[in-house]
Structure 1
Amino acid sequence: MGTVDDYLAELAPEDRAAVERVYAIARDEVPGAEQGTGYGMPALVYRGKPLLSVKRTQKHIGIYPFSPEAVSAVADAVAGVPETGLDKGTVRFQPGHPLPDDLVRALVVARKEQIER
């Protein structure tokens, strides 16, 4: 097991499914990503840099791509999804209103491309 797997094991089933889904999409887009940490959070790491962390907070699930640039790349798409929000470094959603797969993929690809530059 790794840091992401350990974190998933601690979550309530509804939250686990929502968080696990985002990590699964990220792994599909970046098969070389490994489990690790980024800024103290369980994360997928790519080429030694944090790619993405997904955490349950008190009010929402947050996706942290460690990049305001990656968040900006999906800002327009997030605005069209109910029960979501964002700030310069986080995309937020509720487990009952997951983000569309294409939006998650776009966020992951934006961060991957940033790491590769």
Structure 2
Amino acid sequence: MNPIDNYIATFPATTQKLLQQMRETILNAAPNAQESISYGMPAYKLNGKPLVYFAGYKNHIGFYATPTGHKAFEAELSNYKQGKGSVQFPVTEPLPVDLIKRIVVFRAKENNLRL
């Protein structure tokens, strides 16, 4: 198994499904992104620059799209608990896949502009 698979496997089955869905959503939105583990969580880079990160927790999935990704979608993310540069999606609710996809596409465009 690769490091991302190993990371996801450490969580309960219901959380694993959400983490795998998060991973697939990111890779579908940014197919050229490189996966790794950084800061102890799945991390994605595009053109050598950070794109997004995610992490599993007991009660939520953390999503980190750097400050620009959160700022650009501030209104849509306002329904979720947030921290500095992070948003928390409860494990008791479906992931907002379309919103996550749009944030990743936004971040990918930003990274591509900084080539």
Structure-1-length-normalised TM-score:
0.83
In structure 1, runs of 5+ residues without a counterpart are none
- Residue 6 (structure 1) aligned with residue 6 (structure 2): yes
Q: 1:25 corresponds to which residue?
A: 25
Q: 2:42 corresponds to which residue?
A: 42
Q: 2:104 corresponds to which residue?
A: 108
The percent of aligned pairs where both chains have the same amino acid is 29
In the TM superposition, residue 58 of structure 1 has moved relative to its aligned partner by: 4.1
In the TM superposition, residue 3 of structure 1 has moved relative to its aligned partner by: 2.3
Which residue type is aligned with residue 97 of structure 1? E
Which residue type is aligned with residue 24 of structure 1? E
User: How many residues were matched structurally?
Assistant: 113
Contact 1:2–1:35 under 8 Å retained in 2: no
Which stretch has the larger CA shift, 15-24 or 33-42?
Answer: 33-42
- Which structure would you say has the larger RCO, counting Cα contacts within 8 Å and 6 or more residues apart? 2
Structure-2-length-normalised TM-score:
0.84
From 89, 93, 96, the counterpart of 1:93: 89
In structure 2, runs of 5+ residues without a counterpart are none
Which residue type is aligned with residue 106 of structure 1? R
Which residue type is aligned with residue 9 of structure 2? A
Question: In angstroms, what is the RMSD of aligned CA positions?
Answer: 1.8
